[in-house]
């Protein structure tokens, strides 16, 4: 089904990558809860190792429940293959390690996911892989940073928390023919809002923990791309061992079935929240790619079919005044993460950047009054009313 470009994301989310039947005529995929697989006899074992028989061998190398997640993701991203991991970070670090070696150079946008940046700038650096951080969404700076030894460009769209969207079509164009692979962390966009492979991006990575699984109850990660690259990454998974557990795979697979419905609802609610926030006298600034005021609105409109479920804004208050507003919201829960059915709210200064001083935060553009709101699937009007009432009551 992954070859069929005509089928909608909604239908693929439900049926993509699935066989028509399962054992015992079950409608729903079973959880294959096993660590290893048995061979009928030595002849079968030899046939397997000689490549004459395709089957599973051992849990670290593959599992049918995990395979279903991979097939569904490949269908949704319209890529040849995909491989699943125990977490988004396991997927990202394994992919990067599959593509670089000592002496390679990696370029990443400075507003990439914090742990990805940490991995590249501190960990990889120790193994002789150099890096250049380029300013958010600045494709010209990226072009200028490419060297003969550059092997990989890492991008994200939209990014956290300001939701910048580099022109990934241009990024793909620049890297093509230069032996530079492009990797995009598409966690915030999901294959419902954006399909990077259709713009020539080589590798698409997701933290399945967020929108794909969608219920804030499981960690996972997925890498999608051409069969050759995915195979390299899969080989590393067999070595590193960061496999998705079969039961977790079941939860991710089940979650993806409602992905399109959830994301469409989240797009609608986030747009409504962003528009209402932009009108509110207690809000200084709003960042949402669906607003014409967002610097990358035009790029988002051209590349994406939806603007996502995260709204970032600055309240007209200090650190504590902002916390009072956050505490006054009755529907969203205070938690890191995003993309699940529950709306989540956080003040980045007190969450991801807690250990930094106000001055250090200012230097990287995280102000004390910044709030990130990741909408869930609650009623749009109720989410808006709750937010407005929290702003009004803590003025």
Ligand X SMILES: *Cc1c(COP(=O)(O)O)cnc(C)c1O
Closer residue to ligand X (CB): 107 or 155: 155
Q: Rule CB under 6 A: say whether 372 interacts with ligand X.
A: no
Q: Looking at 36-44, 86-94, 229-237, 306-314, which segment touches ligand X (CB under 6 A)?
A: 86-94
Residue 30 CB, nearest approach to ligand X (Å): 25
Q: Determine the Cα–Cα distance for residues 346 and 368; give it in Å rounded to an integer.
A: 11
Q: Determine the Cα–Cα distance for residues 308 and 120; give it in Å rounded to an integer.
A: 27
- Hey, how many other C-beta atoms are within 10 angstroms of the C-beta on 287? 22
Q: Determine the Cα–Cα distance for residues 222 and 219; give it in Å rounded to an integer.
A: 11
Residue 187 CB, nearest approach to ligand X (Å): 4
Q: Rule CB under 6 A: say whether 94 interacts with ligand X.
A: no
Residue 88 CB, nearest approach to ligand X (Å): 2
Asked if the bond preceding 77 is cis, omega within 30° of 0, the reply is: no
Q: Rule CB under 6 A: say whether 190 interacts with ligand X.
A: no
Given 88, 191, 196, 289, the residue binding ligand X (CB under 6 A): 88
Q: Rule CB under 6 A: say whether 274 interacts with ligand X.
A: no
DSSP assignment of 141-183 equals: HHHHH--TTEEEEEEESS-TTT-----HHHHHHHHTTTT-EEE
Q: Rule CB under 6 A: say whether 89 interacts with ligand X.
A: yes
Q: Rule CB under 6 A: say whether 113 interacts with ligand X.
A: yes
Q: Contact, 131 vs 121, CB < 8 A?
A: yes
Q: Which residues contact 36 (CB under 8 A, 6 or more apart)?
A: 57, 58, 59
Given 142, 219, 286, 375, the residue binding ligand X (CB under 6 A): 219
Closer residue to ligand X (CB): 32 or 209: 209
Q: Rule CB under 6 A: say whether 237 interacts with ligand X.
A: no
Closer residue to ligand X (CB): 374 or 391: 374
Residue 67 CB, nearest approach to ligand X (Å): 20
Q: Looking at 206-214, 227-235, 249-257, 316-324, which segment touches ligand X (CB under 6 A)?
A: 206-214
**In degrees rounded to 5, what are phi and psi of residue 165?**
-135, 100
Q: Rule CB under 6 A: say whether 166 interacts with ligand X.
A: no
Closer residue to ligand X (CB): 194 or 325: 194
Q: Rule CB under 6 A: say whether 87 interacts with ligand X.
A: yes
Nearest residue to 375 via CA among 264, 280, 284: 264
Residue 170 CB, nearest approach to ligand X (Å): 21
Q: Rule CB under 6 A: say whether 210 interacts with ligand X.
A: yes
Closer residue to ligand X (CB): 116 or 267: 116
With contacts defined by CB under 6 A, how many residues of the chain interact with ligand X?
13
Residue 107 CB, nearest approach to ligand X (Å): 17
Tokens representing residue 287 in the block: 């960042």
- Upper half-sphere CA count for residue 27 (Cβ side, 13 Å): 2
Nearest residue to 199 via CA among 230, 160, 157, 170: 170
Residue 113 CB, nearest approach to ligand X (Å): 4
Residues 138-157 touching ligand X, rule: CB under 6 A, are: 156
Given 79, 130, 187, 271, the residue binding ligand X (CB under 6 A): 187
Given 70, 77, 167, 185, the residue binding ligand X (CB under 6 A): 185
Q: Contact, 284 vs 369, CB < 8 A?
A: yes
**φ/ψ bin of 212: left (φ > 0), alpha (ψ from -120 to 50), beta (otherwise):** alpha
DSSP assignment of 207-234 equals: ETTTTTT-SSS---EEEEE-HHHHHHHH
Q: Contact, 175 vs 182, CB < 8 A?
A: yes
- Dihedral, CA of residue 236, residue 240, residue 246 and residue 249, to nearest 10: -60
The CB-nearest residue to ligand X is: 88
Given 221, 289, 290, 308, the residue binding ligand X (CB under 6 A): 221
Q: Rule CB under 6 A: say whether 207 interacts with ligand X.
A: yes
List interacting residues with ligand X (CB under 6 A): 87-89, 113, 156, 185, 187-188, 207, 209-210, 219, 221
């Amino acid at each position: 089904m992954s070859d069929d470009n005509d089928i909608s994301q909604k239908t693929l989310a439900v049926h993509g990558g699935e066989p028509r039947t399962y054992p015992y005529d079950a409608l729903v995929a079973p959880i294959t809860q096993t660590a290893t697989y048995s061979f009928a006899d030595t002849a079968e074992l030899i046939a397997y190792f000689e490549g004459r028989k395709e089957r599973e061998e051992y849990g670290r190398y593959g599992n049918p429940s995990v395979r279903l997640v991979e097939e569904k993701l490949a269908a949704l991203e319209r890529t040849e293959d995909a491989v699943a991991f125990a977490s988004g970070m396991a997927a990202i670090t394994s992919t990067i390690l599959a593509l670089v070696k000592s002496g390679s150079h990696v370029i990443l946008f400075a507003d990439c996911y914090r742990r990805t940046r940490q991995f590249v700038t501190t960990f990889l650096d120790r193994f002789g892989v150099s890096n250049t951080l380029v300013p958010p969404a600045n494709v010209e700076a990226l072009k200028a940073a490419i060297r003969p030894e550059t092997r990989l460009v890492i991008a994200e769209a939209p990014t956290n928390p300001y939701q910048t969207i580099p022109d990934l079509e241009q990024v793909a164009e620049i890297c093509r023919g230069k032996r530079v692979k492009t990797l995009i962390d598409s966690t915030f966009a999901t294959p419902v809002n954006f399909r990077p492979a259709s713009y020539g991006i080589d590798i698409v990575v997701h933290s399945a923990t967020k929108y794909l699984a969608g219920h804030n109850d499981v960690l996972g990660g997925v890498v999608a791309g051409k069969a050759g690259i995915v195979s390299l990454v899969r080989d590393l998974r067999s070595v590193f061992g960061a496999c998705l557990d079969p039961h977790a795979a079941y939860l991710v697979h089940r979650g993806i079935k409602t992905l399109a419905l959830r994301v469409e609802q989240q797009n609608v609610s986030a747009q409504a929240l962003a528009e209402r926030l932009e009108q509110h006298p207690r809000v200084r600034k709003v960042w949402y790619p669906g607003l014409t005021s967002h610097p990358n609105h035009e790029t988002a409109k051209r590349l994406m079919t939806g603007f996502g479920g995260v709204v970032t804004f600055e309240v007209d208050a200090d650190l504590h005044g902002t916390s009072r507003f956050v505490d006054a919201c009755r529907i969203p829960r205070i938690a890191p993460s995003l993309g699940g059915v529950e709306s989540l709210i956080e003040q980045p200064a007190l969450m991801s950047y807690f250990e930094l001083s106000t001055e250090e935060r200012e230097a990287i553009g995280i102000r004390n009054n910044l709030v990130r709101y990741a909408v869930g699937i609650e009623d749009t009007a109720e989410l808006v009313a709750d937010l407005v009432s929290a702003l009004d009551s803590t003025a």
